[in-house]
Structure 1
């Protein structure tokens, strides 16, 4: 008697593995059949899982970041939905959400600023590009004050720098009574050369912070002042980019971007502000009053 030959159809899981096998791995289902995933794919998945655990462990150490949603929206800063504190449960999960929305650029390696000689001294964080200067690469523009030639990624570049009107007087005036910290999103190789020209003796600028001290969120560099070792009530940041001060908008003095207007008077206005703000114990109150006065002046111009 001839034995009966029965043609068996591979199970669905095996067919899936064969079909996906050309891609290098098989995606296990929620209830995978044991032995369905090829050994090579298992090792790949195990490696991926191990990497993910390491990434999660790293980001779980990050501190929570809280901010004012309404203020940021007014400044044009897009709030990542996963960072909003709409309820207590969302707040408790902040470190986990941060892992998927915020990339830290060597921030754990950045120490807080050294202690102030005088605890009563206030601190000014100043942006560089479009706040104190404007720079342009080749071809050279019609107007510029000096050239810096940084080497970036092995390539030597030319940057033609135009100083904002009054920048020398501004730095001299505020450095006499305040701690001045340049906080730029520019690369150190580039920005340090410009600061060497603005403050050749180092007498006006107390500290310099570069891109590696920023946080990157959705492709934007954000300057978080909370880890600098300074009382935020006695701190102000001057920047032309609202995204930069997204974590502390109540400490920010917005300034119009500078390109090449040699009649610009923004820094002169700031000198007057910093002369008068010493009457306030907290910088936030002074900033709030200045913003109200600036808004009133703009309304008068429109009338």
Structure 2
């Protein structure tokens, strides 16, 4: 009887049988995931064997170790100044990302191209410094007339040259770079300068669009012109124009119609 009971005992189950039953109990999704894992494992083993034959099995581990060392070194020697710089770089990166650019620093284009001659630069204002103009015809005299089109309307400007302007431009051009920096509109000022500087003593011209609007006032910011501030000076009758760099300015008396004016002669002797 005992022997019969031993014969009826359940047969031993192999690992394969157990795995098959586990496989059957899994849901279809789990079966797909398990199959994918098996395939990936097989691919990984084959790639590992291939890399072993090529002798580059330590490539991935070396990269991890090198990357870890770099990060560890950077973290160890980090200080406040680096943190500030990093913060600025991060802000720049976020800004540039929004603007769809790849640079990591923001740059401002200079108002003037690089200087060819190694000379100091003199910035001259136009209205009430070199000339005076009015839309009504003067009773006594004027030197020339310009007719720009402003906002689609032709306008007449009667221009009076300040005494000594021709001699001043010729004298300065031989030793300095001359730039006229005016807050006037280009449509008007360009015509005036074409008549005023027929010999092309003026190297560059900057108009209203090159000024900065600070609290509703037009400021001529010399920090944007692309020249060393130690080598520039601006001559202007309006202190607001050079309020950002008053130490680089020469304030001149405004000119209207005084034929006995001698300010430009004084300026010529000064330079």
TM-score category, normalised to shorter length:
0.5 to 0.7
SS at match of 2:222: coil
The alignment partner of 2:218 has SS state of strand
Take 1:118 and 1:154, find their aligned partners in 2: how far apart are those partners? 39
In the aligned structure 2, how far is the partner of 1:217 from the partner of 1:229? 20
Seen in structure 2, the aligned counterparts of structure 1 residues 272 and 140 have a Cα distance that, compared at 3 Å, is closer
The offset of 1:261, in angstroms, is 0.4
What is the TM-score with the length of structure 1 in the denominator?
0.53
Number of the residue aligned with 1:53: none
User: Is the Cα–Cα contact under 8 Å of residues 174 and 180 in structure 1 kept in the other structure?
Assistant: yes
Counterpart among 126, 129, 139 of residue 127 in structure 2: 129
Equivalent-residue separation in structure 1 for 2:163 and 2:195 (angstroms): 15
Which structure 2 segments of 5+ residues have no match? 1-106
User: How many Å separate the matches in 2 of 1:255 and 1:248?
Assistant: 16
Find runs of 4+ consecutive structure 1 residues off by over 6 angstroms: none
Shift of 1:201: 3.7
Which residue number corresponds to residue 251 of structure 1? 248
| Structure 1 gap ranges (5+) | 1-107, 275-303
1:47-105 deviations in Å (ceiling 9; x for gaps): xxxxxxxxxxxxxxxxxxxxxxxxxxxxxxxxxxxxxxxxxxxxxxxxxxxxxxxxxxx
TM-score w.r.t. the length of structure 2 is: 0.59
2:179 is aligned to 181
CA RMSD after TM alignment? 1.8
1:159–1:231 CA distance, 2 compared to 1 (3 A):
same
Q: Secondary structure at the match of 1:212?
A: helix
Q: How does 1:121-200 map to 2 (within 5 A)?
A: 121-200=119-198
Distance in 2, Cα, partners of 1:255 & 1:141: 26
Aligned length: 166
For residue 115 of structure 1, report the CA deviation from its aligned partner.
1.4
Indicate if the aligned counterparts of 1:141 and 1:160 stay in contact, CA closer than 8 A: no
User: In structure 2, what is the Cα distance between the partners aligned to 1:132 and 1:257?
Assistant: 9
